[in-house]
Structure 1
């Protein structure tokens, strides 16, 4: 599987690890993968991931988000195109309508404190566009995204992250009714006003409990706690 989903240049460890791309650090999502439920890619399992490239540069330019996917339930895997966007790091993805998908990406650049969103129309093999989303501020941290239903033919999305651009705090779920173009509903999950307790909320992951209930699991209190909560949301 490593030879299908990774591009290491380390023949001293394994003679087959001789890829000119020279990926070093490699991580899956963190969070969850997803499986396409409808359309031409139905059944495809897509795992968002990220890697760093070449010799250590100690800056954001070495990070690139990508993904890998299987159409045969894990017998074989294919790599997606990497996100050619400076500082794209930890990523997580969700299905949209019309055979499309979206990926929310940690932005490793310190001078721009917002999420990167990327869209694919070929099941995650290639990326049509990627951009900074100002309505999803982020302090350089992980996030989660999930499809939670449909309205007017478009997938409804839930997105969670620590939405304070300067601190890992203010964990918020935002809802989009137009597949990520706008984020019009906001649910505050957890925050602290005590500067001595930061970082307060960090990594999180979302899941569907039923058609109107979201679950969220997240780190809290300087990574000393793992908390699980549920929320009722409405299609409106």
Structure 2
């Protein structure tokens, strides 16, 4: 991990969260969430022996930091809570802590079990000591991201195998803190290649980022909605286009009142790959 304390202008040195030798084990597909009730930064991830498939993986783990990432706790195996989906590939991206409703404080996560086999969700009401997996799956879905909307509902947004002719993202909603979910729906506005995407409720507005293309990982774009993703405002923010391609991305909210959001993303240019960060005005559609 790296950390920035100036809205992404400068970054710390690379810090190790999980230190096993990569020749022995592969760790990845991390989900990170800040638990506002305890101050902990929680990181959930999956592992597999080197050379083995990571989708599904072999086990699921949780590590916690109480000093904003300077130090991390000894990892705890949480696989038993996810049976029969132990080894589910979490995220990648952000977890969610509910900020309103009867289950305020609940931690909610999503992941995919095998490539385009099915997605699952799980949650904790005791800061990650125990997890519950509701009896619901999302068939033929893959990497998932979720957020709590202004009305308290949870919106789940999923990569899929383009089972729909619209070549777009799939969604589901929960009105009871993640315990039951609506049938899968395809959002034709959110066109997508086969790729991960990011979703974030920032104050009263919903933001979405992905490569806005049905062909390839190009035109990395941020969209905004004022009605919880029912419709999307036509004006979009192009983060990278032309000969510079953007792939996976992760939106981050403004936490210090600057009026800016941020997007961390994979960047490809002239055969070179990098991880890049861009800040953007949250009201870009009004400028």
| CA-to-aligned-CA distance 1:57-104 (integer Å, 9 cap, x gap) | xx84xx21121110110111011344444x211001000244310011
CA contact (8 A) 1:83 1:127 kept: no
1:29 aligns with 2:91: yes
Q: Which residue of structure 2 aligns with residue 14 of structure 1?
A: none
Q: Which residue of structure 1 aligns with residue 267 of structure 2?
A: 220
CA contact (8 A) 1:206 1:216 kept: yes
1:39 aligns with 2:101: yes
Higher relative contact order (CA 8 A, sep 6+): 1
| d(CA) in 1 for partners of 2:83, 2:171 | 23
CA contact (8 A) 1:141 1:202 kept: yes
Which of 226, 238, 242 in structure 2 is aligned with 1:188? 238
**5+ residue gaps, structure 2:** 1-77
1:220 CA displacement: 1.1
Q: Which residue of structure 1 aligns with residue 171 of structure 2?
A: 117
* C-alpha distance 147-81 of structure 1, shift in aligned 2 (>3 A): farther
1:65 aligns with 2:119: yes
| CA-to-aligned-CA distance 1:167-196 (integer Å, 9 cap, x gap) | 01110010010001001141111022x4xx
Q: Which residue of structure 1 aligns with residue 10 of structure 2?
A: none
1:224 CA displacement: 1.5
* C-alpha distance 173-6 of structure 1, shift in aligned 2 (>3 A): farther
Secondary structure of the structure 2 residue equivalent to 1:78 = coil
| d(CA) in 1 for partners of 2:267, 2:151 | 37
Q: Which residue of structure 2 aligns with residue 89 of structure 1?
A: 142
RMSD over aligned CA atoms reads 2.1
Q: Which residue of structure 2 aligns with residue 208 of structure 1?
A: 253
**5+ residue gaps, structure 1:** 9-22, 53-58, 151-155
1:201 CA displacement: 1.3
Secondary structure of the structure 2 residue equivalent to 1:164 = coil
Secondary structure of the structure 1 residue equivalent to 2:203 = strand
Between the two proteins, the alignment pairs up a number of residues equal to 202
Question: Quick check: 97-106 or 115-124, which moved more?
Answer: 97-106
1:50 CA displacement: 1.1
CA contact (8 A) 2:155 2:171 kept: yes
Q: Which residue of structure 1 aligns with residue 80 of structure 2?
A: 3
1:129 aligns with 2:174: no
1:107 CA displacement: 1.3
CA contact (8 A) 2:202 2:254 kept: no
Q: How high is the TM-score relative to the length of structure 1?
A: 0.79
| CA-to-aligned-CA distance 1:178-231 (integer Å, 9 cap, x gap) | 001001141111022x4xx7xx21100001124521110000116710000100
